[in-house]
Structure 1
């Protein structure tokens, strides 16, 4: 798998499903420097989606914030085996939630912006594969798929497959992620209307944008109020409403701006792009 990228550490991200060879062999064959295993955490909640602990201690499985005790014996063995090849790191994730997998993957990719990041989209659940693939479309990470030589049966006792027949690059079709400004405003809405019982209208969002110097307003210093509303709609509200991330709800003579359930999930997946204070 020639990445065609500048030199840098080779970082692999792999959702850990019921696999061994499809996880371990690419890491070893491609001489990875770092590998992140996305490990299913039964205690993971929606509020955790997309979060990655930057201060985690990855010196051993025992110090990681991963529920290894709920993993299978061969899943734990994968972590130990990879630790002998490279810097192996376990990350908790809801492997059955596309937004959590996408958010954790994009966050790790952003952390390693100066490295070569590869994502195994064939080592976890089908939902994890979708989340990992979307993450690659919104970052510079490169997806790959691993075709097994044969399949096992009882995944509670043995890995699903054995051996590796080939490691194939998956075409990467870019899609447009929310801009940093959009994520900032989504984060403000999340903080005020999801975590707290407040409502926000467009005027509140304009005030927030002015307070934080967001470029869609800050770059135009002599704006009238009408122009501010127009620029808010053009840069933030209209595109996010069109994508189904926001909706407008009548409130007297005004309209409140509301994050949809999809918008909440997308914000959690991309909140690493901005820190809302």
Structure 2
């Protein structure tokens, strides 16, 4: 879409709509040995209407995930949320509106968006960075860069207002893909230990070793249990050093024991990336 092209009104644009005959024909076709992907849009909802519907309809989305703020009373949501769902469905787009998160919390939003991206990693996924607020935009961008499985898009409009009783932006002028750069998510094995420390900590380093061996984390799991010094060395080099360097855990000595405790940053990181541990 160029700046000169007039933006469609969602109610009038039905370019993705299908007739009953077309739907029946589609359902009768089988694809053997082929992977057929859908076009999926992930849309955290703020006070937007056209910036939600226009890109999904114009880009011929097959499914849209609407992400609501978990603290909102559904009965008190803006009335135009119902119009969003109606317009999308009228355009032949499946709407998933069961997802909620704290859209004002970066880590919760990051986790939620990343989980949706991963759940649809076999499809063509887009994350709308303009449909919510600043936090959802940052979280959505990070989720795209960490997973590497989604494209972030930004939707510009000609008019912007302040009245939250009506959509903030009007007259969409362009939908742009934003550049992304790879971000390395926490390594899996240190993340497994971090979850143990967050859930059970503070824990001793000996308890960390016992957890790692019991969880089958190499090379500790395959190391001789009689070599205590070797196990402590492997715990530090393979797991703890990276967690400490990233500021996710702190170690301290109490009595004769050395303890490991998660930091606030570690707790937030686990919240954001716990989905990586749920893929087994």
Give the TM-score category using the shorter length. Answer: 0.7 to 0.9
Per mean C-alpha deviation after superposition, the further-off stretch among 201-210 and 91-100 is: 201-210
Pair 1:150-2:159 in alignment: yes
Pairing 1:74–2:80 present: yes
Asked if the contact 2:39–2:61 (Cα under 8 Å) also holds between the matched residues in 1, the reply is yes
1:153 Cα deviation after fit: 3.1
Match of 1:36 in 2: 65
Which of residues 160, 178, 197 is equivalent to 1:189? 197
Q: CA RMSD in A?
A: 2.3
How far did residue 229 of structure 1 move? 2.2
Aligned residue among 73, 87, 94 for 1:87:
94
Q: How much does 1:222 deviate?
A: 4.7
What TM-score do the two structures reach when normalised by structure 1? 0.80
Say which is worse superposed, 6-15 or 200-209, in terms of deviation.
6-15
1:161 is the counterpart of 2:169: yes
**Distance in 2, Cα, partners of 1:80 & 1:214:** 49
Asked if the contact 2:126/2:150 (under 8 Å) is kept, the reply is: yes
Aligned residue pair count: 243
Shift of residue 176, structure 1, vs aligned partner: 1.4
Larger CA Rg, structure 1 vs 2: 2
Unaligned runs of 5+ in 2: 2-34
Residue by residue, what CA displacement relative to the aligned partner does 1:217-238 show, whole Å, maximum 9, x if unpaired? 34x4457332322222223211
Aligned 1:98-117 pairs, distance under 5 A: 98-117=106-125
| Contact persistence 2:65–2:96 (CA under 8 A) | yes
Inter-partner Cα distance in structure 2 for 1:135 and 1:27: 19
TM-score by length of 2: 0.80
Deviation at 1:276, TM superposition (A): 11
In structure 2, distance between residues paired with 1:204 and 1:80: 54
**Deviating runs (4+, > 3 A) in structure 1?**
220-224
Whether contact under 8 Å (2:53, 2:88) holds in the other structure is yes
Measured in 1, the distance between the counterparts of 2:206 and 2:146 equals 30
Give secondary structure in 2 for the equivalent of 1:138. helix
Q: Residue 109 and residue 238 in structure 1: after superposition, are their counterparts in 2 closer, same or farther (change >3 A)?
A: same
